[in-house]
Amino acid sequence: MSAQKVTIIGAGSIVFSLGLVKDICLTEGLSGSQVCFMDIHAGRLEVIHKLAVRYAEDLGADLLFERTLDREGSLQDADFVVNTATISHNEYRMRDVRQLAAKHGYFYGRTGMPEYYNLRLMLDVAAICPDAWIIQAGNPVFAGTTLMHRETGVKVCGLCHGHYGYYGLARTIGVDPDEVTWQAPGLNHNIWLTHFYHNGQDLYPRIDEWIANEAEAYWKEKGAAGGIPAQMSPAAIHQYKMFGLMPIGDTPRSGGWWYHTDLDTRIRWYGGPGGGGDTPKGRDRIIAGKEERYKEMVKAATEDGVRPIELFGSTKTREQHVPIIDGLVNDNEGWFQVNVPNMGALPGLPDDVAVEVPAVVNKKGIQPLRVEPLPAKVMLERIYPTWLSMERNLEAFHSGDTSMLLYGILESHQTKSYDQAVELLEALMAMPKTEPMAYVKDMNEHFSYPDHW
């Protein structure tokens, strides 16, 4: 048992912070630790701080909570930094981008525009705390984890919950998810089910049976009941046919431009109303849900007689962040799905690219399994193109070369002409700045066309 300093960057992402607080409260080995909430919003910081204090009271946990607007200060002496902050993946900003892109002929913001602000933010954070463990929760996990590793050499582990997609898959084909042996390596949001067993029996034939005999009825039923989970959607099954392995979690949500060209196409591949949060209306529902949840939290933080434990329970979440800290600090060993520099874990990719692989975590560190090579088809059609796109993003980030942003947009299959790409790029660069952007280098300052343009 060893007291730690855990700093949460972007702690105003309250849904996320709440889960972390609960998990830390419920982890004995972290008793006595200090949790530092950092955000740029004083109001939201106050809510999470009050909520955390009350929650720790409810759960009888011995923790010290701090809050600060000072990023640099919050990172001093941090043992762990959970970076959940986002600038460009903010729901409202993304909605504005989608609406602007729609005017230029792009459905659901699939513009190909390379990431800038969130990468800058991640790098700025990592540069301040070279001795901490960074647990990266904000997107893009793949590019960000790779970038932080390359640029700072900090210990970094990107996390996502997409791999839990195997749960829904198992349940749907009639198997208890807690009894399966599975593996799904790849890149973040691009992972593929290489192993899937129950009592030593390969479950792939069972998936094939389900597709042949049950899928149609399932899609009809789920469609009528509000929506088909992406994990079991026609798109997911089609990707299994195309690429030879089941895509897991967030993977079937992308998987090829041809599933996403417009709403009708989305409905064809994901069922009505077009697949969870990946349509304009679906996303609006998610935003409304988050806002509703925030109101509840404010209540639990501030109203007399409303206790967090009543609203949010007293069992751990399924998130991996705190159990990984517990493993590293207290040798409380566990298996996790992590995004870490490859170093040979996934054959066919360079050492310094972040791969998503299973890892055992204990006092010795985060130790990835060296998995078997993915099939050539998956590598050539899914993994390498995504890797290459990420490398272009990082090179654009480094070089500050505007023409690489333009190239990214031209690579979007939704781009129909050169002029359309130029116009979209200019429109995106001219969008009003949001508040968090003031805290990092401005995109328009960083990027310019090459001299000979």
We find the least distance from the C-beta atom of residue 417 to a second copy, in angstroms, to be 7
Per-residue CA distances from 153 to 5, 123, 147, 358 (Å): 20, 11, 9, 21
- The reply to whether 426 sits near a second copy by the rule CB under 8 A is no
Task: Tell me: does residue 244 bind a second copy (CB under 8 A).
Answer: yes
**Cβ-contact 176, 255 below 8 angstroms:** no
Looking at residue 26, its amino acid is L
- Supply 302's token pair: 């501030």
Residue type at 259 in one-letter notation: Y
- The secondary element (H helix, E strand) that includes residue 40 is none
400 binds a second copy (CB under 8 A): no
Q: In angstroms, what is the minimal distance from the CB of 123 to a second copy? A: 18
- Taking the alpha carbons at both ends of the chain, their separation in whole angstroms is 59
Using CB under 8 A as the binding rule, whether residue 386 contacts a second copy is answered as no
Catalytic residue list contains 161 = yes
Q: Pick one of 105, 181, 224, 258: the residue that binds a second copy (CB under 8 A).
A: 258
Q: Does residue 256 bind a second copy (CB under 8 A)? A: yes
Residue with smaller CB distance to a second copy, 70 or 419: 419
Residue with tokens 């105003």: 12
HSE toward the beta carbon, residue 204, CA cutoff 13 A: 14
CB atoms within 10 A of CB 370: 13
- Choose which of 363, 370, 416, 441 interacts with a second copy (CB under 8 A): 416
Cα dihedral 53, 56, 60, 66 sign = negative
Least Cβ distance, residue 116 to a second copy (angstroms): 17
The DSSP H or E segment spanning 87 is none
In the beta sheet, which residues pair with residue 7?
36, 81
Nearest distance from C-beta of residue 154 to a second copy, angstroms: 23
Q: Provide the minimum distance between the beta carbon of 319 and a second copy in the complex, in angstroms, as a whole number.
A: 34
Residue of 79, 250, 278, 326 marked catalytic: 250
For tokens 């084909």, name the residue: 173
Binding test (CB under 8 A) with a second copy, winner from 406, 425, 437, 443: 406
- Between 316 and 392, name the residue whose CB sits nearer to a second copy: 392
Catalytic site residue 250? yes
User: Which amino acid, one-letter code, is at 363?
Assistant: K
What's the rounded Cα separation, in Å, for the pair 66 and 404? 41
Interface positions, 207-226, toward a second copy (CB under 8 A):
208
Residue 137 or residue 184: which is nearer to a second copy going by CB?
Answer: 184
Q: Which residues are catalytic?
A: 161, 250
Residues in contact with a second copy by the rule CB under 8 A: 208, 240-242, 244, 256-259, 261, 265, 376-377, 380-381, 384-385, 388, 391-392, 395, 399, 401, 403-404, 406-407, 410, 413, 415-418, 421, 450, 452-453
